[in-house]
Chains A and B, each alone.
Chain A
Amino acid sequence: DVVMTQTPPSLSVAIGQSVSISCKSSQSLVYSDGKTYLHWLLQSPGQSPKLLIYQVSNLGSGVPDRFSGTGSQKDFTLKISRVEAEDLGVYYCVQATHFPLTFGSGTKLEIK
């Protein structure tokens, strides 16, 4: 199974700061079609998860462009520029290239 290692486990940031979350996979996430099925989700407190970024760098519907994703092969990063209060919650990366699909363990973002 592909292991997704997500760091840091938690972050505390002030409004307006920028943060980055890392997600590393134990295998390349490039599928046979050439695409990389690495996605980022946010689970706000008490809510269902919501898609932020799909296929490494594509913004989900309605997601502000303060969020951006980069990376390739086995190393991926989610960046949040100018953090806002509504960004608090747990961020997960998930790979959908290889079955079984696997999630990172999550990064909890708190607002100072």
Chain B
Amino acid sequence: EVQLVESGGGLVQPGRSLKLSCAASGFTFSNYYMAWVRQAPKKGLEWVATISTSGSRTYYPDSVKGRFTISRDNAKSSLYLQMNSLKSEDTATYYCARHGMGFDYWGQGVMVTVSS
């Protein structure tokens, strides 16, 4: 059974950093692109980052480019999102998703609140 379990969320002050993790199981992690998608409270879905199978290629929207870094450790079947210079508008539930045939599996999400 495919499972994606996020961790690392919480309350953080504006301008500070936070690192999210996603532990994957039930599939060959190294064979799949992976992504982070977020959802602000009562809002729609927003793509945050995608990483290639080897980690050599990463993609971001302008809203987080230069502040967020997606990475992976295939030996540990883990995905990460390093978030720096956090802003109040980064407050959201962050989902880890397998970027296979569509976004075919999602984690349960982890809440990040940016507030002083």
Chain B positions within 8 Å of A, measured between CB atoms, are: 35, 37, 44-47, 50, 59-62, 95, 97, 99, 101-109
Query: Given that A48-B106, A51-B104 are contacting pairs, would A96 and B44 also be in contact in the complex, using a CB cutoff of 8 Å?
Result: no
| Residues in A neighbouring B46, C-beta threshold 8 A | 103
From B35, B45, B95, B101, A103 is in contact (CB under 8 Å) with B45
Are B45 and A61 in touch, CB under 8 angstroms?
A: no
B28 nearest CB across to chain A (Å): 16
Are A94 and B103 in touch, CB under 8 angstroms?
A: yes
* A71 located at the interface, meaning its Cβ lies under 8 Å from any Cβ of chain B in the complex: no
From B59, B103, B108, A51 is in contact (CB under 8 Å) with B103
Query: Given that A41-B103, A54-B104, A92-B44 are contacting pairs, would A48 and B95 also be in contact in the complex, using a CB cutoff of 8 Å?
Result: yes
Are B102 and A54 in touch, CB under 8 angstroms?
A: yes
Query: Given that A49-B95, A100-B61, A101-B50 are contacting pairs, would A92 and B104 also be in contact in the complex, using a CB cutoff of 8 Å?
Result: no
Chain A positions within 8 Å of B, measured between CB atoms, are: 1, 39, 41, 43, 48-51, 53-55, 58, 60-61, 90, 92, 94, 96, 99-106
Q: Chain B: which residue is nearest A1 at the CB level? A: B61
B5 nearest CB across to chain A (Å): 11
Please report the C-alpha to C-alpha distance between residue A55 and residue B100 in the assembled complex, in whole angstroms.
11
Query: Given that A39-B103, A50-B106, A51-B104 are contacting pairs, would A103 and B44 also be in contact in the complex, using a CB cutoff of 8 Å?
Result: yes
| Residues in B neighbouring A54, C-beta threshold 8 A | 101-102, 104
Please report the C-alpha to C-alpha distance between residue A48 and residue B46 in the assembled complex, in whole angstroms.
13
| Residues in B neighbouring A105, C-beta threshold 8 A | 44
B49 nearest CB across to chain A (Å): 10
From A1, A49, A50, A100, B45 is in contact (CB under 8 Å) with A49
Can you list the 4 inter-chain pairs with the closest CB atoms, starting with the nearest? A54-B102, A39-B102, A100-B61, A101-B47
Please report the C-alpha to C-alpha distance between residue A101 and residue B97 in the assembled complex, in whole angstroms.
13
Query: Given that A99-B59, A100-B61, A100-B62 are contacting pairs, would A51 and B102 also be in contact in the complex, using a CB cutoff of 8 Å?
Result: yes
| Residues in A neighbouring B35, C-beta threshold 8 A | 101
Are B45 and A96 in touch, CB under 8 angstroms?
A: no
Q: Chain A: which residue is nearest B62 at the CB level? A: A100
